[in-house]
Structure 1
Amino acid sequence: MATSIDRLLEEISGVEDPIEELQVLKTALLSIPVSALRDSVSGQRFKVVFSLLNSNHREQVELCVDILDRILMALSPVSLVQNYRSELQAGLAHPSDIVRILALTQIGRIVASPDAVTQLLNNQDTLLQAVIHCIREEKMAVAKQAIKSLSKLSHSKAGLEKLFQSDLLRALKEVMATSDIVRYRIYELVVEISSVSPISLSYCASSSVISQLLEELTGDDVLVRATAIEMVTTLAHSQHGRQYLAQQGIMDKISNMIRGADTDPLSSLYLPGLVKFFGNLAIMDSPQQVCETYPAFQNKVFEMALDPDPAMKGVALDTLGLLGSTVEGKQVLQKTGEKFKKVFARMSQLTGSGATELRVRSLDAISQILTLQPEQQTEDLLALTESWFHLLSNQPMDMICSISSQPFPELHCGALKIFTAIATQPWGQKLMISTPSFMEFVLDRSTGQTKEAKDAKFELVGSLVSSSTAAEILGSQHYIRLKAYLREGPYYVSAVAAVGTEGAE
């Protein structure tokens, strides 16, 4: 096997137009499993293929990339850095983006390997500086791969030191100055690194890049501000990130920005991001604590839910769904009394008319607010969700059934989610059994023919079967049929129905 590959390599190096020979080599390599290929590609025998990348012939370059992708993946990261370091660096400067992506992918393997990265870090920084320069590439795929490789580098303490305590930091800052877009790519990288651990965050904080990002929150450019808020929200996903932001006074700053939004005519560009920030914060920490500490957030969510602007309404719906998905969040919403009842009634109206996307988001939010896990079903909480369900309309079951029968798969699935939310609650089961034809609708496999609809119906059936009160409330006959539905799976088609369909055709 190794002999035949060597022969093919010799043939390639001896011809002027090697397209046909490259194609034969590619076919040969693809016919060998990667595990078996490992012994055949050791050493530096494939340098000739790297040399053929220096061509204006697109097909030749693409064939070389396919071949190199195959053989380099078969090499260990240590062998890569020992034998092909200079070729990978040359690949980063290649005019073709597929060559640059190939080189970055292999460098990513090197920096993710403890043994290989040690050899890389003990040498000069030129290769890693070239990776940093790729972040400013016009092709987003190249920039993303560079960010990914540098992120992997930061997973070791030695890598963090190299990135933030050497000439590489200067290179990062030089690249940042290229444009707003590139600056935010660097922010994306630094936020990703910061999220890994408190140690990673301390290195990033010492670089001053994070403090620069936080300053952008209150900058003059509202579009830059909106992007900064997204980055800061990502940073808040980790507990150590939230602690750092609190120490920097960012929560108070964002709360003040929400308060001041009423007097800013451009606030609609960044206000949704501010609300999303606190919505995520509430779910990760404590809905009660966040809503009590930053009342401007909760007031703004209710205000946005009644706003005529669809973008504002959409974010408010998502946030209310997030808050209402937890028991503590439900209790926070309950404490607002008539304020929430007014908003919930508005959410019900939104499910019935308007843009489909907004109707679906409203249905999703309502289902989250009404959901109670079996262990959460105290008398008080069951009474609360039941009272909210009856706020939807005078005949809420008929209303949701009507939505589920509309010829829009997203709405059909959204309505089924609400039924699933109440399916484990005794009051919900009593409504279902007392609603004419409802159980027939649940057991009818002909309603909703998309995969998503079948999955949503199956989830509803599963919720009913899993409930300890379902057999008693729904009756043994319905319960047995539900268990059979569950046993048969979401995509079951009865043999009789199938024969009948074939006959009709």
Structure 2
Amino acid sequence: MLRSAELMRRRAEDAGKSYQVGGARHVTCVQRKGHVSGWRKMAAPIQQLVAELSGQEDPIEALRSLKTAVLALPLTGLSERRPAWSLRPVFRLVETREREQVNLCVAILERLLQALDPLYIAQNYKAELLQGFYHPEDSVTLLTISQVGRIVECPEAETEILNKEELLKQIAQCIGNDKISVAKEAIKCLCKISRSTSGLSTMIRSNVFTHLKSVMAISDVIRYRVYELVVEISSVSAESLEFCASSGILSQLTDELTGDDILLRVTCAEMVTALAGSLHCRRYLAQQGVIDKMSNMILGAESDPFSAFYLPGLIKFFGNLAVLDSPQQICEHYPAFLEKVYDMAEGHDVTMIGVAVDTLAVLGATVEGKQVLLKTGLRFNNVFRRIGQQCRNATTELRVRCLDAVSSVLHLPAEHHTEDLLAMAASWFHNLSNQPMDMFRSIATQPFPELHCAALKVFTAIANQPWAQKLMIESPGFIEYIVDRTVDPDKDSKDCKFELVKALVNSGTIAEVFGNQHYLRLRAYLREGPYYIQATSAVAVEGAE
């Protein structure tokens, strides 16, 4: 009884409510804010430990004690709008080359700054943060950049720090840092600054790209980093794109697509693909003739012995354009793209085949894309038959990619079940193999989970189409295979089988095609779930051993 009463009292204290024991009612006087008050009492020694740092010749022990105290408290116990303790003694002690002292100071500052309001940090420690950029230890620079990133994400605090032109210059210089983590943090911070109108205006006013150009000259690797930053900033808005374009760095990036450095071509193709992710950037690329230039690179790939390095990047670029804009528009305007995809799919280079198959999966995912493929007639039929061969004979990784492509191309949403489109899907399915149902069933029964699941996804993709349902019901033992949970070796396989059953049950034609008996078996499977196990009972017989 006492233990129950104590438990009720503690819970009531947490909620600030009354509680009752043995007919007597007790009212707690501790509210939730009492916990905050308690944390503040626990945090009081921190103020004392910080104060003790001043004037010590060997502050290591004091810093260790402070670090222990700081890490022992939750952030809620450290968070105060205007804390009683000052971080200046810790900032002063970080100005040393003594590695352990620096590490202790950084650990303390990371924890305490995280608990403070960004506006308070900007108003009180702006100078200390700026000084952190000149410290020889990368950990101090990382701490500084991350805190600036926190501040610029706070609208009230942003203006407090963006008026420091020197700060933006130092962040830009950090992109050239030897340590990749520092460079990545600097890129991230400048991207955050560019996302607000005031931040972008400050970057324009402070001419930050002049500093970036000097950083680019350090090495090719640093130049890639600046390109990455410019792509990120350009994608934010049309205004930021105009700012980046006026700097000349964007045109420098696109010019390097046709440069002599093959590896740089590869990198630039990837970056231009990322740039094309936003509509205003795609318009810019079209206006500048960059997309035409990349199409011509595909045309000239036959005569370039190094095209295998950059060609996959170009194909991915146009594949992304087709998804973002219109498959028909892209394939009509740039016919070299689809023709090259077909050539790659029919070739013998495994890498190229994989890229081509993935691209066809993307194109064939939409009804418009399927119609584009259909217009190419016999050429696509030959390519799709080749993909069927790869499903049987290629390496496991490529077989999975081919199976995924087949699923994507053959899937047809119910709202698009017109006579023509259903006939198209059925024709493509039969084109894959002489006995496509047997082929996919054979793959689905192999003891490789990735192949097993990929083959089941093909059946799921066509499960709502009447012609496919007729093939399933006419295939001996297919229904028994679907409802047999024992043949699925792992969780992923069971989940894939369940998705197949769900697709069949939710089809509007399944009862008519399969008949009531099979339909009810599938409904029962769906109701029981993918992991259902049939209970069995043993009957004891007298005299049996």
d(CA) in 2 for partners of 1:141 and 1:304? 38
> Match of 2:226?
186
Aligned counterpart, 2:533 = 494
SS of 1:390 mapped into structure 2? helix
1:389 aligns with 2:457: no
Normalised to the residue count of structure 2, the TM-score between the two structures is: 0.85
Contact map agreement 2:46 2:85 (CA 8 A) in 1: no
Please state how far the C-alpha of 1:56 moved relative to its aligned partner.
5.5
In the alignment, which of 47, 50, 72 is matched to residue 6 of structure 1?
47
The alpha-carbon distance between structure 1 residues 55 and 430, as it changes in their structure 2 partners (threshold 3 A), is: farther
Amino acid at match of 1:172: L
Match of 1:503 in 2: none
* Aligned match for 2:116, one of 57, 75, 78: 75
Q: CA deviation at 1:284?
A: 1.2
Cα gap change, 1:121 to 1:57, in 2 (>3 Å): closer
Question: Which residues of structure 1 form unaligned runs of 5+?
Answer: 500-505
The aligned counterpart of 1:114 is: 155
Picking from 460, 468, 471, the partner of 2:511 is 471
Q: Are the structure 2 counterparts of residues 132 and 370 from structure 1 closer, same or farther at C-alpha, using a change threshold of 3 Å? A: same
Question: Is the Cα–Cα contact under 8 Å of residues 465 and 479 in structure 1 kept in the other structure?
Answer: yes
1:215 match: 255
Q: Deviations over 1:74-110 (max 9, x none)?
A: 2122112122223323333444433332222211111
The number of residue pairs the alignment matches comes to 497
The residue that corresponds to 2:378 in the other structure is 338
Task: Determine if contact 1:43/1:83 at 8 Å carries over to the other structure.
Answer: no
CA distance 1:256–1:5, change in 2 (3 Å): same
CA distance in 1, matches of 2:537, 2:95: 60
Q: How far apart, in 1, do the equivalents of 2:226 and 2:392 lie? A: 44
Query: In structure 1, what is the Cα distance between the partners aligned to 2:53 and 2:532?
Result: 57
Cross-structure match for 1:45: 86
For the 8 Å contact 1:164–1:204, the answer to whether it is kept is no
Amino acid of the residue matched to residue 285 of structure 1? Answer: D
Note if contact 2:47-2:85 (Cα within 8 Å) is conserved in structure 1.
no
Q: Partner residue of 1:245?
A: 285
Partners of 1:194 and 1:235 within 8 A in 2? yes
Which residue identity lines up with residue 296 of structure 1 in the other structure? A
Query: Which one-letter code corresponds to 1:272 in the other structure?
Result: P
RMSD, aligned CA: 2.5
Gap regions ≥5 residues in structure 2: 1-39, 539-545
1:502 counterpart residue number: none
Give 1:316's aligned amino acid. A
| Larger RCO (alpha carbons 8 Å, 6+ apart) | 1
Please list the CA deviations of residues 292-339 of structure 1 after superposition, one character each: whole Å capped at 9, or x if unmatched.
111111111100101111111111111111111111111111111111
The 8 Å contact of residues 43 and 79 in structure 1, kept in 2 or not, is answered as: no
Q: Secondary structure at the match of 2:337?
A: helix
Deviation at 1:281, TM superposition (A): 0.8
Pair 1:46–1:415, CA change in 2 (3 A): same
Q: Which residue of 1 aligns with 2:13?
A: none
Letter in 2 for 1:378: T
Counterpart Cα distance in 2 of 1:153 and 1:29: 30
Deviation at 1:138, TM superposition (A): 2.3
Q: After the TM superposition, which residues 306-321 of structure 1 pair with which residues of structure 2 at under 5 Å, given as runs?
A: 306-321=346-361
**Which amino acid is the alignment partner of residue 88 of structure 1?**
L
Mapped to 2, the partners of 1:98 and 1:483 lie a distance apart of: 60
Alignment match, 2:416: 376
Judge conservation of contact 2:82–2:120 (CA < 8 Å) in 1: no
Partners of 1:364 and 1:28 lie apart in 2 by 54
- Change over 3 Å in CA distance of 1:19–1:257 after alignment to 2: same
Contact 1:42–1:79 under 8 Å retained in 2: no
SS at match of 2:485: coil
Q: Tell me the alpha carbon deviations over residues 104-152 of structure 1, each in whole angstroms, 9 at most, x when there is no partner.
A: 2211111222221211122x31222111111112222221111111001
Change (3 A) 1:455 1:199: farther
Q: Which residue of 1 aligns with 2:298?
A: 258
Instruction: Give the secondary-structure state (helix, strand or coil) at the position aligned to 1:421.
Output: helix
Distance 1:7 1:418 in 2: 68
How big is each residue's C-alpha offset from its partner over 1:132-189, in whole Å with a ceiling of 9 and x where there is no partner? 1111122222211111110010012222122234232211111111111111111111
Matches within 5 A, 1:217-296: 217-296=257-336
**Does the 8 Å contact 1:302/1:316 carry over to 2?**
yes
The answer to whether residue 235 in structure 2 is matched with residue 168 in structure 1 is no
Q: For residue 385 of structure 1, give the secondary structure of its aligned residue in structure 2.
A: helix
AA aligned to 2:214 is E
Give the whole-Å Cα distance in 1 for the aligned partners of 2:364 and 2:280. Answer: 25
Deviation at 1:342, TM superposition (A): 0.6
* 2:369 counterpart residue number: 329
Give the 3 Å change call, closer, same or farther, for CA 116–427 of structure 1 in structure 2: same
Residue 444 of structure 1 pairs with residue 444 of structure 2:
no
1:434 to 474, 485, 495: 474
State the shift of 1:16 in Å: 5.8
Sort the Cα spacing of 1:299 and 1:24 in 2 relative to 1 into closer, same or farther, 3 A.
same
Question: Per the alignment, do residues 40 and 108 of structure 1 end up closer, same or farther by CA in structure 2, a change over 3 Å counting?
Answer: closer
Tell me how far apart the structure 2 counterparts of residues 60 and 217 of structure 1 sit (CA, whole Å). Answer: 48
Check the 8 A contact 2:301/2:311 in 1, yes or no: yes
- Report the Cα distance in structure 2 between the residues aligned to 1:28 and 1:289, rounded to whole angstroms: 64
CA drift at 1:63 = 4.2
Q: For the structure 1 residues 404 and 106, does the alpha-carbon distance in structure 2 shift closer, same or farther, using more than 3 Å as the test?
A: same
Shift of the 363–45 alpha-carbon distance from structure 1 to 2, 3 Å rule, reads: same
Post-superposition shift, 1:214? 1.2
Question: 8 Å contact 2:234–2:240 — kept in the other structure?
Answer: yes
Displacement, 1:258?
A: 0.8
Please name the residue that 1:90 is paired with: 131
Specify the alignment match of 2:106 in structure 1: 65
Assess, with a 3 A threshold, how the Cα gap between structure 1 residues 298 and 6 changes in structure 2: closer, same or farther. same
Identity of aligned residues (%): 57
Return 276-285 or 353-362, whichever deviates more. 353-362
Mapped to 2, the partners of 1:151 and 1:72 lie a distance apart of: 22
Give the conservation status (yes or no) of the 8 Å contact 1:101–1:142. Answer: yes
Distance 1:40 1:235, change over 3 A: closer
In structure 2, relative to structure 1, the CA distance for the partners of 1:14 and 1:285 (3 Å cut) is same
Question: Which residue identity lines up with residue 83 of structure 1 in the other structure?
Answer: N
Q: Residue 89 of structure 2 aligns to which amino acid in structure 1? A: V
| Alignment check: 8 A CA contact 2:390 2:399 kept | yes
8 A Cα contact 1:41 1:74, kept in partner: no
